[in-house]
Amino acid sequence: MSYDREKQVAMEAAILAAKLCQQVRQDIPEAIEKHDKSPVTVADYGSQAIICKALRETFPNDPIVGEEDATELRKPEMADTLNKMLGYVQNIIPDATADQVTDWIDRGNGSVSPRYWTLDPIDGTKGFLRQDQYAVALALIEDGDIKVGVLACPAMPVEGSEPGMLYIAVRGEGAQMRPLAGGELQTIHVVSPDDRENMRFVESVEAAHGDQSRQNAMAQAVGITTPSVRVDSQAKYGIVASGKAALYLRLPSPKYPDYRENIWDHAAGAIVVEEAGGKVTDMHGQPLNFADGQKMMNNRGVVVSNGVLHEKIIDVLKS
């Protein structure tokens, strides 16, 4: 079965959502208070609205499992946030109304089904606020198998161009990337074992998102001796898929031993790495489960690799 239409619609929607997010971020004042999360709230809602609208128009029968819903946004005390978000959406969809936008957002309240989309409108909210990495992540899943994945990473460095990279994968067709600013799609592949410069590992910036001391020990156990590169969001998947790192570890934090991962935090990135020749499992070597619910209840931790290192890491974790 061809997924050309799904790929094209997902790419176009993610690019527009990334454009909105960048507009919001450019308007964040330098002296913003650390507790003020309003810019990321505006961008989160706006991104989800744009993507859900695009998917509804082209694939009206497909549920969308998104991170946000508009219940809070409809409250009177959120009127200022709603109006700000509407203004950014109208920069892209000029005739959008507040009622339409909240309805589009609520299209993301779908359930995991035999065929569905999963969306993280801004993955890496803290990175977004500190002018660092974040991603718009969208994936199509059928019968628990990811078929299409798109990652828009607006802050990813691009050689010879303005920042912003788009990563795309379709099951069985390989992975590609191109600058968000435009250009030709180029095939990407995970790092080879003889590329010592890129035999690095990436992990989350936030210590609470993993077990950083154990992650470093695991990387060293398989021969990676350089310090980790800490990056927010699913941009880490793009870095591994494009051969700029060999490993991404997200092991359970000792502070939150019962935490389970959300499907939208991994689906798009997972297929990009897999189609680039890498491997993605939980820490026990089991495939990530996208078939049963929003939380991957039967998986613990996430291991992403260039494939060559994967069994070594799983064996070390088991020992």
- Give the residue from 170, 188, 206 where a domain finishes: 188
Question: Stretch 8-25: mean pLDDT, rounded?
Answer: 97
State the chain's mean pLDDT as an integer.
Answer: 95
Choose, from 41, 102, 118, 125, the residue flagged as catalytic.
Answer: 125
Determine which one of 41, 44, 106, 118 is catalytic. Answer: 44
64 with 175, same domain: the answer is: yes
Looking at the fold, whether 99 and 128 belong to one and the same domain comes out as yes
**Phi and psi torsions of 201, nearest 5°:** -130, 150
Q: Are residues 43 and 145 in the same domain?
A: yes
184 and 293 part of one domain = no
Residue 286 sits in a domain whose CATH number is 3.40.190.80
What totals of helices (H) and strands (E) does the chain contain, helices first? 9, 12
Catalytic residue list contains 125: yes
Phi-psi region of 149 (alpha: psi -120 to 50; beta: other; left: phi over 0): beta
Which residue among 188, 208, 235 closes a domain? 188
Q: Is pLDDT at 1 greater than 90 in this prediction?
A: no
Same structural domain for residues 139 and 229?
A: no
**Range 261-277 average pLDDT:** 98
Q: Say whether both 75 and 134 belong to one domain.
A: yes
How many other C-beta atoms lie within 10 A of the C-beta of residue 213?
A: 11
* pLDDT for 40: 85
Question: How confident is residue 31, by pLDDT bands cut at 50, 70 and 90?
Answer: low
**Quick one: which of 234, 222, 304 has its CA closest to 263?**
234
Q: For residue 237, what are the domain limits?
A: 196-318
Looking at the structure of the chain, the number of domains it has is: 2
Closest CA to 168 of 125, 138, 201, 143: 138
The residue among 239, 223, 221, 39 whose CA lies nearest residue 130 is 39
Q: Are residues 184 and 279 in the same domain?
A: no
Last residue of a domain, one of 132, 161, 188: 188
How sure is the predictor about 36, in pLDDT bands with cuts at 50, 70 and 90?
confident
Q: 22: domain CATH number?
A: 3.30.540.10
- The one-letter amino acid at 33: E
User: Are 138 and 55 in a shared domain?
Assistant: yes
Do 170 and 227 share a domain, yes or no? no
Residue 34 scores a pLDDT above 60 = no
Same structural domain, 30 and 48: yes
Task: Assess contact for 167 and 174: CB atoms under 8 A.
Answer: no
| Residue 44 known to be catalytic | yes
| Structure confidence by residue, pLDDT tens digits, 42-70 | 999 999 999 999 999 999 999 999 999 99
**Confidence band (pLDDT; 50, 70, 90) for 33?**
low
> pLDDT (tens digit, 9 = 90+) per residue, 94-141?
999 999 999 999 999 999 999 999 999 999 999 998 899 999 999 999
Amino acid (one-letter) located at 176? Q
